[in-house]
Structure 1
């Protein structure tokens, strides 16, 4: 790669590499396919690498996509003065993308996104929830169970509980019965999740409301929470299951589209009907930026009740850039397609860093 030309390196973990590793580790192929599908943004973005290269070239940058397994070598050869690293996938358990920002730091390279400690924290939902609660943010309290046994008992809940894997998705309940009225059922779900995915489950009081996605891209270095895009994500379901997720992205998503099973959720601006809730979400984002260190690119998932009460469900340091919601955000907030928005962000960051060097 060029050693003197400003360069954007995009590190990504392919679905197939993850799938093959999981199968080698003893996961059944069906489970490995489900788990590796969380890396579908790598699959979905790869056809646009040529477009990304062209948009970067127009801004005086080289674009170099690097698969995660090649990242140690590639980042070790990169020029710290002219290189910017953007990591597309996070993960410390099933996925390994959290190694990329750590490798960038090891080699003295500048990065887009949060520091590597948050790449680990965001993937452990029980621990991240504890940190968010300590920051005074409105995250539901949680219990933690492993294979039918409580590690931490959940709080009482008149509305029942929601059960989800601890390291495999913060809002996906896997199955339709992931909302349950009895803690015995919650423990049974923990057995099923452990058997299928070798994961603990977070058990939270069920919270009512509509699903909301807040997206952020710091296209300019001084961008603040005013650039947050906050939308209701209306899919017609109360929560997303694994089957719903598989129908949206990657190779499984393409198959779902071909079979006529794909239905893209509707995005509606929260501020149009609940401006008070939108204002609360911006304050939450500012607290996450100041107290947790989110920056550059991230997303937040929330539930918003009709009375504007907001529940913070999770944050993501690697939002699904090629997903429908982030593309819509780039168009509405920045008036750009995804490739141009990414290239412009990188060019602005490298220019700003050179100015302050």
Structure 2
């Protein structure tokens, strides 16, 4: 984005956006994080789901180097196909976002420098995953611009993006968190041996994760203490802050959460489980999630006892409220053979791809994908601006 240009601008809207009576929705996707491609795939699914008779859609892609560009209302280039990961390319059609005050207009700067109006936007659906989007940055920008948006606010987005801060909040709320050690940048550079000594208290295998990433980017399973240092160094290529988590023997059971309508009390979906069945995947890694569809099975409802189902759903509700979430989130738990429920993490902008648990969980709970997207937009439109 750039500051507002001084050139003379045209008031003409593109034909597909000029029709009156529809809610104007800006989908924002792509972005500067390593989850750029997954954000594009999420946008493709949402584009297919939106009812064009109710919504005028403005697809805004953010390139890997941070340029905001207007794209065609076409999901196909944004889909994962035959192992090809999609990418937002710079079209030269730069979108200028309003920065609050009386001016709420989106503007478009063409490659020749001419400026036109895209009109005001009613609500933004920020389909960004990872840093520079899901972490409170775009949420803060939209708050400054007095523009409504789907999903969690600044604080919950930022806090839940950092797995260390997330665990501290969950523990304070009385939820059971698995053992872990933090390898932040300063500690690792100043006294690497002390971090490794602390991690020696964990039971192997452990999982090494970038603290502020998702989609299993940069996650490594480590079976032996002598391999831990190298795994942390590799994870630091993605984020200078790294978590070393003790592996939990058990099943991963997930719930989707939606903000309530009248009471704001969270609504929790049926429990779901993703089972890795393909060879070559020790855990639910990036390739299993997005590139090898045959390697996973999504089961909703998960085949768990009623007592476990009730506890996982309770944990999801407590986590949603403890984090101060709004709109939506997905909560992931481990369930041990003894039936103990241990919270793993919460995702404030879960994936909406055809392989994603969040829409599957709601579909299995009686809320189909198009209705889910509509529900999220209506929740955002009903939410007040400013402090709340």
TM-score normalised by L of structure 1: 0.73
- For the residue of structure 2 that corresponds to 1:108, the secondary structure is coil
- For the residue of structure 2 that corresponds to 1:197, the secondary structure is coil
Q: Evaluate the alpha carbon distance shift between residue 52 and residue 162 of structure 1 in structure 2; reply closer, same or farther with a 3 A threshold.
A: closer
Q: Hey, what's the Cα distance between the residues in 2 that align with 1:124 and 1:97?
A: 8
Q: Hey, what's the Cα distance between the residues in 1 that align with 2:251 and 2:379?
A: 35
Structure 2 alignment gaps of length 5 or more: 1-16, 70-94, 106-119
In the TM superposition, residue 4 of structure 1 has moved relative to its aligned partner by 8.2
Q: Which piece of structure 1 moves more, 140-149 or 313-322?
A: 140-149
- For the residue of structure 1 that corresponds to 2:256, the secondary structure is strand
Does residue 73 (structure 1) correspond to residue 81 (structure 2)? The answer is: no
Q: Hey, what's the Cα distance between the residues in 2 that align with 1:209 and 1:231?
A: 14
- Partner deviation per Cα, 1:184-243 (whole Å, 9 max, x = no partner): 43233212333x4353321122211012222234485557545323112111355233xx
Partner residue, 2:122: 83
Does residue 167 (structure 1) correspond to residue 183 (structure 2)? The answer is: no
- Partner deviation per Cα, 1:77-111 (whole Å, 9 max, x = no partner): 537x9722221114336x67632211111012222
Q: Hey, what's the Cα distance between the residues in 2 that align with 1:317 and 1:281?
A: 17
Partner residue, 2:173: 135
More helix by share: 1
Partner residue, 2:83: none
- Partner deviation per Cα, 1:115-164 (whole Å, 9 max, x = no partner): 11222222221222222222221111321223645459347234543322
Q: Evaluate the alpha carbon distance shift between residue 238 and residue 266 of structure 1 in structure 2; reply closer, same or farther with a 3 A threshold.
A: same
Asked if the contact 1:173–1:239 (Cα under 8 Å) also holds between the matched residues in 2, the reply is no
In the TM superposition, residue 302 of structure 1 has moved relative to its aligned partner by 1.7
Q: Hey, what's the Cα distance between the residues in 1 that align with 2:343 and 2:46?
A: 34
Asked if the contact 1:143–1:154 (Cα under 8 Å) also holds between the matched residues in 2, the reply is yes
Which of the residues 311, 314, 321 maps onto 2:342?
311
Asked if the contact 2:330–2:347 (Cα under 8 Å) also holds between the matched residues in 1, the reply is yes
Q: Which piece of structure 1 moves more, 119-128 or 262-271?
A: 262-271
Q: Evaluate the alpha carbon distance shift between residue 103 and residue 40 of structure 1 in structure 2; reply closer, same or farther with a 3 A threshold.
A: same
- Partner deviation per Cα, 1:262-320 (whole Å, 9 max, x = no partner): 42521224664322222111211221232221231111122111221111111110100
Asked if the contact 1:227–1:333 (Cα under 8 Å) also holds between the matched residues in 2, the reply is no
Partner residue, 1:105: 143
Does residue 213 (structure 1) correspond to residue 254 (structure 2)? The answer is: yes
Asked if the contact 2:218–2:238 (Cα under 8 Å) also holds between the matched residues in 1, the reply is no
Does residue 326 (structure 1) correspond to residue 358 (structure 2)? The answer is: yes
Q: Evaluate the alpha carbon distance shift between residue 157 and residue 186 of structure 1 in structure 2; reply closer, same or farther with a 3 A threshold.
A: same
Q: Hey, what's the Cα distance between the residues in 1 that align with 2:377 and 2:239?
A: 38
Q: Evaluate the alpha carbon distance shift between residue 263 and residue 173 of structure 1 in structure 2; reply closer, same or farther with a 3 A threshold.
A: farther
Q: Hey, what's the Cα distance between the residues in 1 that align with 2:376 and 2:216?
A: 29
Larger radius of gyration: 2
Partner residue, 1:298: 329
Q: Hey, what's the Cα distance between the residues in 2 that align with 1:154 and 1:101?
A: 35
Asked if the contact 1:12–1:97 (Cα under 8 Å) also holds between the matched residues in 2, the reply is no
Q: Hey, what's the Cα distance between the residues in 2 that align with 1:160 and 1:235?
A: 18
- For the residue of structure 2 that corresponds to 1:102, the secondary structure is helix
Partner residue, 1:11: 28
CA RMSD of aligned residues (A): 3.5
Partner residue, 2:153: 115
- For the residue of structure 2 that corresponds to 1:163, the secondary structure is strand
Q: Hey, what's the Cα distance between the residues in 2 that align with 1:240 and 1:267?
A: 12
Asked if the contact 2:327–2:380 (Cα under 8 Å) also holds between the matched residues in 1, the reply is no
Q: Evaluate the alpha carbon distance shift between residue 198 and residue 320 of structure 1 in structure 2; reply closer, same or farther with a 3 A threshold.
A: closer
Does residue 185 (structure 1) correspond to residue 185 (structure 2)? The answer is: no
Q: Evaluate the alpha carbon distance shift between residue 155 and residue 293 of structure 1 in structure 2; reply closer, same or farther with a 3 A threshold.
A: farther
TM-score normalised by L of structure 2: 0.68
Partner residue, 2:48: 51
In the TM superposition, residue 70 of structure 1 has moved relative to its aligned partner by 2.9
- For the residue of structure 2 that corresponds to 1:281, the secondary structure is helix
